[in-house]
A and B are shown apart, each in its own frame.
Chain A
Amino acid sequence: MTQPANRKRFTVPIGPQHPALKEPGHFAFDVDGEIVQSASVRLGYAHRGIEKATESRTWVQNLYLLERICGICSHIHATAYCLGVEKLAQVEVPPRAQAIRSLVAELERIHSHLLWLGVAAHESGFDTLFMYSWRDRETVMNILEVMTGNRVHYSANVLGGVKYDVDDQQAATIREGLDFLEERTLHYLEVVSTDSLFLQRTRNIGVMDREAAQLSGVIGPTGRASNVQRDVRLDSPYAAYADHPITPVYETTGDLLARFVVRLREQLTSIDYIRMLLDHLPNSPLTTRMPRRVKAGEAISRVEAPRGELFYYIKSNGGDMPDRIHVRTPTLCNIASVAQLVIGQHLADVPMILVGIDPCFSCNDRTSVICQDGQRDMWDWARLRQYGIDHYGTHYTKDLG
């Protein structure tokens, strides 16, 4: 059957407000029938001005502000910030505090990956898996609550150490929870790799080979599913990862199935790692003295968040507040790959492919103004506000015709 020459492509816009999206983002998919021909991604709908806000808060206050960039990986944001500020202040954190930082980070990884498993299963229509994985996620949330007192924003970090110790009774509670989680993770690993209906939604869908993954700069578990052998915990060890290296997890197929398998296997390595840390917790104080003013200078810190590499740039001018903090979350590196991955796929697979990178839109939005003529340009609040009004005013007018 020949296609009419004047056949037009149809564009399916999704977002920024859409029932399928949990957070605001805009995607436009050009489709020919059911098959996606090209795609574009637009972000920036949930910019919260956090970087600017850090400049008017003290070093201590910023710890809690930055922890709230993400509700899922809050601990790792605080860790990245603490590592950077401690580097600037030339403060050595006691070894027990470093081990506890890694311990909470790995617990957080399990909780994040289980949450992702549920969301991804829900997008594929496998709501039974969604419900059971979220039920089991409560186990790790309860462990975190026992350890730190909170389920979401644990606030385990302070500048110069950690707030909470692990005693024998808590270690026993953690081990008991981990045994249950290990059994369930192995079960889910079997489910995602053997359930024939589920495999139809994941095997050979959204395939990204190693070269393509490196070209689009994909990081974290998404990259490791395409055999991109990058993990900050190994490449640039921090906290307890220098003394106790973690076993990395790689897959080679690069499809959605590999992204499931990598994350579930990472949970198993995290479980083993936490057990090992509990066996080898060094004895030392939890905190060290931290100056209220931080020496002038610049520092970067990189950590492996559940979604990939998290990057912090911190600049101090010697005062009690930072001069500049810049945050780059892993979603920014991964989101561009979606536009490539969906090409040639069915429109029905698009939500799964998008969820496959584990996007976190609101953590990701930053503003950069690039001055091309090399002139320094300062924007005050009034100018920024007027820019927003003009920008969105123009867009609304366009949309309304």
Chain B
Amino acid sequence: MKLGTLFKDAWDALFSEAATEPYPNPHPDETERLRGRLRWNPEGCTGCSLCVKDCPAAAIDIFVLDKKAKQFVMRYDIGRCTFCGQCMQSCRFDCWQAANDDWSLAATTANGFVEYYGKEEDIERVLAGPVTDDPVKV
């Protein structure tokens, strides 16, 4: 039977560094596999839309303007994304990558949470109105 069994821990803690990490300055180090903001690389994309079908949060959407010419626009809603990494798993051509250095995504406004990837003229076409060439519906 003892008393003050954690006294030594408390005493040692007086002379050791804080257990908490400072944030946001300096920014804590990221681990290699940390899943942050997703980035889409259109080069390998075939427009199969498996990533869209598998996304559990309906955070991504693909607009197929011309499948043969590989004209796609990807819409990514960071506000909906749960960073589960299933899109990276589903894609056979490694088009999706999670940036491990871009994870501090909180904002004071809802603007800027939706991103469009693709050629500028294609994005403008998608934003202008409904796309007639067989858009993939989610």
Q: Mark A178-213, 1 if CB is under 8 A from B, else 0.
A: 000000000000110011111100000000000000
User: Are B5 and A191 in contact (CB-based, < 8 A)?
Assistant: yes
User: Are B54 and A58 in contact (CB-based, < 8 A)?
Assistant: yes
Q: Residue B56 contacts which of A61, A128, A190 (CB distance < 8 angstroms)?
A: A61
User: Are A196 and B2 in contact (CB-based, < 8 A)?
Assistant: yes
Q: Residue A132 contacts which of B9, B33, B34, B54 (CB distance < 8 angstroms)?
A: B9
- Residues of B near A149 (CB, < 8 A) are 31, 33-35, 85, 98, 100
User: Are B34 and A128 in contact (CB-based, < 8 A)?
Assistant: no
Q: Mark B33-59, 1 if CB is under 8 A from A, else 0.
A: 111000000000000000001111100
User: Are B2 and A195 in contact (CB-based, < 8 A)?
Assistant: yes
User: Are A60 and B56 in contact (CB-based, < 8 A)?
Assistant: yes
Q: Mark B1-43, 1 if CB is under 8 A from A, else 0.
A: 1110110011000000001000000000001111100000000
User: Are B54 and A60 in contact (CB-based, < 8 A)?
Assistant: yes
Given A145-B31, A145-B34: A153 touches B5 (CB 8 Å cut-off): no
User: Are B10 and A146 in contact (CB-based, < 8 A)?
Assistant: no
User: Are B34 and A64 in contact (CB-based, < 8 A)?
Assistant: no
User: Are A196 and B82 in contact (CB-based, < 8 A)?
Assistant: no
- Residues of B near A138 (CB, < 8 A) are 19
User: Are A128 and B3 in contact (CB-based, < 8 A)?
Assistant: no
- Residues of B near A153 (CB, < 8 A) are 82, 84
A139-177 residues at the B interface, CB under 8 angstroms:
145-150, 153, 155, 158, 163-164
- Residues of B near A65 (CB, < 8 A) are 56
Chain A, interface SS category: helix
User: Are B56 and A132 in contact (CB-based, < 8 A)?
Assistant: no
In the docked arrangement, what's the CA distance between A331 and B59, Å?
Answer: 33
Which of B10, B82, B100 has the most chain A CB atoms closer than 10 A to its own CB? Answer: B82
User: Are B84 and A191 in contact (CB-based, < 8 A)?
Assistant: no
Given A164-B33, A195-B2: A61 touches B89 (CB 8 Å cut-off): no
In the docked arrangement, what's the CA distance between A290 and B131, Å?
Answer: 33
Q: Does B83 contact A (CB under 8 A)?
A: yes
- Residues of A near B90 (CB, < 8 A) are 60
Closest to B55 in A: A61
Closest to B100 in A: A149
Closest to A155 in B: B84
- Residues of A near B31 (CB, < 8 A) are 145-146, 149
In the docked arrangement, what's the CA distance between A331 and B31, Å?
Answer: 34
Q: How far is the CB of B138 from chain A (nearest CB, A)?
A: 11
User: Are A129 and B6 in contact (CB-based, < 8 A)?
Assistant: yes
Closest to A197 in B: B3
In the docked arrangement, what's the CA distance between A63 and B89, Å?
Answer: 13
Closest to A126 in B: B6
User: Are B6 and A132 in contact (CB-based, < 8 A)?
Assistant: yes
Q: Does A57 contact B (CB under 8 A)?
A: yes
Q: Residue B5 contacts which of A61, A62, A145, A190 (CB distance < 8 angstroms)?
A: A190
User: Are A128 and B9 in contact (CB-based, < 8 A)?
Assistant: yes
User: Are B5 and A64 in contact (CB-based, < 8 A)?
Assistant: no
- Residues of A near B32 (CB, < 8 A) are 146
- Residues of A near B53 (CB, < 8 A) are 58
In the docked arrangement, what's the CA distance between A198 and B5, Å?
Answer: 10
User: Are B5 and A195 in contact (CB-based, < 8 A)?
Assistant: yes
User: Are B34 and A158 in contact (CB-based, < 8 A)?
Assistant: no
In the docked arrangement, what's the CA distance between A132 and B85, Å?
Answer: 33
A385-401 residues at the B interface, CB under 8 angstroms:
none
User: Are B3 and A196 in contact (CB-based, < 8 A)?
Assistant: yes
Q: Does A9 contact B (CB under 8 A)?
A: no
User: Are A64 and B10 in contact (CB-based, < 8 A)?
Assistant: no
- Residues of B near A164 (CB, < 8 A) are 33
- Point out residues on A near B: beta carbons under 8 Å: 57-58, 60-65, 128-129, 132, 135, 138, 145-150, 153, 155, 158, 163-164, 190-191, 194-199
Instruction: Pull 9 A–B residue pairs with CB atoms less than 8 Å apart, ordered by A.
Output: A57-B56, A58-B53, A64-B82, A64-B84, A128-B10, A146-B33, A149-B85, A190-B5, A194-B1
